[in-house]
Amino acid sequence: MRIPGMPDYDAAALAKLRAQDAEIAAVFDAHGYDFIEPPILEPADVFLEQSGEDIRRRIYAFNDASGQELCLRPELTIPACRMYLRGAGAGGPARLSYNGPAFRFQPPGRDRPCQFLQAGVECLGIDDKEAADAEVLAVTLAAVQATGLSEYAIEIGDVGLFFGLIDQLQLPERWRLRLKHQFWRPGQLQDLINRLSGADGAGADRTAFLAALGALDGEQAKAAVEDVLQMAGIAPAGGRTIDEITVRFLEQAADARSGALSQEIVALFDAFFDISGGCAGAIAGLRDLTRQAGIALDAEIARFERRCDLADKRGVPVDQLRFAARFERGLQYYTGFVFELRAQAEGVPGPIAGGGRYDRLLAQLGADKEIPAIGGAIRTEWLLLARGEA
């Protein structure tokens, strides 16, 4: 019996995948990336803590006989990083490659497999971040091109630009942290901006409730929230506890006391997220915006420009790169440059490749300091489909 959502390849399709894998592996090897085989089973808490919301809700997690919560890896970057940290000389430069299955639950009706194949590279411990960014982008493109695919679009972004913008603004620290945290959820980020600016249409009753709640201490606030939920006949939903709901309300009460996000800052966010286009045009747009707003993002913009120059020297078709300030990928551990390749052939469900920089992840996984890191991954089945071979 075939399991829904699991691949079911015939001999011809398997042969094509293996031939394609060999072409990709040859490129990775030629650029000095050592092949590893990360574990398929991993501690579930690692992914629950470090991955984005979209990944967390689609993890296949279970308890083994000893009670330890494990999961099938939903992607291969974290397992590869954990192998790196367990290896000799961890913390030093390393170039690693992999190729294997990953697993994510797909809601009914979504035309994507629960088990899929991913080949990729991780460039770890290289201090010249822009050079490493350009390298990983170039290697990923070279691997795709080696299989014969030449028609695709390349979209890039830079999380560091938005984080740098936030750090330049006069905002309460908790607002900075939440705005950065919500960058990975565009809808929720906009909801947060609307609420902080007062554009969410919150009524006087809600404002009065938050003001009254904010005057209570932690235990009193928790008891008040419990009473309100019981009187309204509302049960906690979405896995949230009363404590978590109370913390959420207290955050909103603190926001109300801090005043509203100014319309000037809201307009600045809107203008920033509207910046898109080729590298040269995006750089000019960023400089114009920051100059008009009196904000110093010179260092961040200079890094962006240098990355593009280095990518050009590595043979990346920089004139084909399309920057989008709002561009993001679905993993919250990214901290800087991000990219995606999308096939121009019809019928491909999503990006055929993508990746980004994640400088904080290794410290969060147990390293004694932050380690520069960037990776790129190819969805090999979708690449085969884009080539018309599937």
Q: 36 Cβ partners below 8 Å, 6+ apart? A: 80, 83, 96, 97, 98
One-letter amino acid identity for 265? I
> How do residues 208-251 score in pLDDT, each as one tens digit?
665 665 566 667 666 766 666 666 555 555 445 666 666 666 66
> How do residues 302-318 score in pLDDT, each as one tens digit?
999 999 999 999 999 99
* Least-confidence region, from 94-103, 128-137, 194-203, 252-261: 252-261
CA distance 120 to 134: 15
- Mean pLDDT over residues 173-180, rounded? 87
Of 5-14, 227-236, 243-252, 285-294, the range with the highest mean pLDDT is 285-294
Q: What is the pLDDT of residue 329?
A: 75
CA distance 244 to 217: 15
Helix runs in 5-149, H state only: 11-30, 44-50, 53-56, 77-86, 129-146
Phi, psi of 35 (to 5 degrees): -75, 135
Which neighbouring-strand residues pair with 343? 152
